[in-house]
């Protein structure tokens, strides 16, 4: 399967280098300079190219090796990652379902003291509608949409068997509850990919959501799996493969 769509959907466009730029870069290299000319690039508001490459390879891997189960995304927002995963599913396992979960009400900490949310109903409607429109735009089969807070949807609305899970809950509590319900349903050989997982001991980069790593480390402390850090451009990913 070609994977150029990961830089062509939405605003995921990488500027092509002109022959003149290539020539100048060759000259710089021959002169011993390490610097290179690069054109501007736009890789999406929610995901960058490296993140999408990680998703593509890990998801396609479990499908090619026929790990049983469905695909779930916890924290889908407007569905850009969801579109990528459905595209991969359509190529390797079109009969499998994609389940997406989101409150469509922002993050839990964004709720006000009176229980309301700090933006209007039109904004809530837009997030879910944009997800649906994105699938329509690329002619893809709609996912199974589970709207609500994780503690409301995960106990009863996850598939019984999961081959691939993408966790994008951002916060300690969201990642912890995701693992508590997803891990027992993961099949042997299944993969869990965790967004925003950063480990400063390995890579001194972006680490604005340390609760993600803390939740993973705590939950997996008494289990055989350990999270492996993956390069993801300006961000980072973590993943583990279910051993039993």
pLDDT in tens, 20-72: 666 667 766 766 777 666 654 545 556 788 999 999 999 999 999 999 999 99
Residue 43 pLDDT: 53
Give one DSSP letter per residue of the chain, joined into a string. ---GGGGTSTTEEEPPPPHHHHHHHHHHHHTT--------EEE-SS--HHHHHHHHHHHHHHHHTT--SEEEEE--TTSHHHHHHHHHHHHH-TTS-EEEEE-SS--GGGS-TTS--SS-HHHHHHHHHHHHHHHHHTTPPPPEEEES-HHHHHHHHS-S-EEEEEE---SHHHHHHHHHHHGGGEEEEEEEEEET---TTT--S--S-HHHHHHHHHHHTTSS--PEEEEETTEEEEEEE---
pTM of the model: 0.83
Residue 119 pLDDT: 42
Question: What superfamily would CATH give domain 46-241?
Answer: Vaccinia Virus protein VP39 (3.40.50.150)
Domain residue extents for the chain: 4-42, 46-241
């Amino acid at each position: 399967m070609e994977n150029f769509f990961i830089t062509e959907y939405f605003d995921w466009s990488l500027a092509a280098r002109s022959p003149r730029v290539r020539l100048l870069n060759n000259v710089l290299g021959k002169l011993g300079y390490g610097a290179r000319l690069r054109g501007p690039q736009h890789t999406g508001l929610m995901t960058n190219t490296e993140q999408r490459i990680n998703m593509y390879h890990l998801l396609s891997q479990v499908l090619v090796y026929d790990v049983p189960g469905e695909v779930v995304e916890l924290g889908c927002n407007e569905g850009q990652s969801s579109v990528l995963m459905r595209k991969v599913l359509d190529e390797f396992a079109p009969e499998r379902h994609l389940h997406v979960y989101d409150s469509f009400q922002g993050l839990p900490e964004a709720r006000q003291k009176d229980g309301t949310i700090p933006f209007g109903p039109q904004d809530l409607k837009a997030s879910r509608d944009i997800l649906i429109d994105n699938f329509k735009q690329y002619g893809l089969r709609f996912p199974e949409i589970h709207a609500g807070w994780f503690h409301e949807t995960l106990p009863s609305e996850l598939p019984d068997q999961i081959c691939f899970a993408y966790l994008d809950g951002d916060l300690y509590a969201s990642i912890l509850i995701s693992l508590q319900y997803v891990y027992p349903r993961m099949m042997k050989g299944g993969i869990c990919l965790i967004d925003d997982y950063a480990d400063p001991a390995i890579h001194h980069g972006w680490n604005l959501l340390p609760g993600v790593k803390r939740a993973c480390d705590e939950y997996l402390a008494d289990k055989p799996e350990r999270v492996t850090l993956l390069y993801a451009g300006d961000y980072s990913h973590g993943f583990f493969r279910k051993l039993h």
